[in-house]
Amino acid sequence: MPLTIQTITLLQKYLDGVIRRADHHADNVNKIVFALIGGVIWKTTDDIEVRSYNNAPANIMHLPVNGEVYTFKFNHETGNIDVQNGATVIKTFNNSSSLDEVRDFFESL
C-alpha cells in the first residue's frame, strides 16, 4: 500500500531510508538523490506517494505533475534510478548525471 507524503517528517524518513539503502547497496546513486529530491519538491503538483514495505517507505516514489505521474525507482540491474511515465523509462540518473541534466529534466515536466 502506498504512503502519501504529507509532512516534511515523512519526506525526511523516506529520504533517509533511500540514502541508507543507497550507501549500502547502490553507491552509484547515493549522491544524485539529493538533487532529485530537490526537483521533486520543486515540481510536485499534488501529494507524492511512495511504496511501503512493512509500513515503512520503500524505494519507489510516484510524483504527480499536472495530471501526469512519474515513477522514480532504483533499477537493481543497472544500478541507476529510472524515471518512468507509465511503463516507459523516460530518463535515467546516477552519480555521473550532472546538475544541469537534473534541472533540465525537471524543468521539462
Classify domain 3-108 at the CATH class level: alpha beta
Q: Between 49 and 84, whose confidence is greater?
A: 84
Distance CA(32)–CA(98), nearest Å, equals 9
Helix (H) or strand (E) holding 18: helix 8-25
Q: Between 26 and 11, whose confidence is greater?
A: 11
Domain ranges of the chain: 3-108
Under a CB-based contact definition with an 8 Å cutoff, are residues 53 and 43 in contact?
Answer: no
**Each residue's pLDDT tens digit, 20-76:** 776 666 678 889 999 999 999 999 999 988 887 776 656 789 999 999 999 999 888
Q: pTM to 2 decimals?
A: 0.85
| Residue 108 exposed, middle or buried by CB count within 10 Å (0-12, 13-18, 19+) | exposed
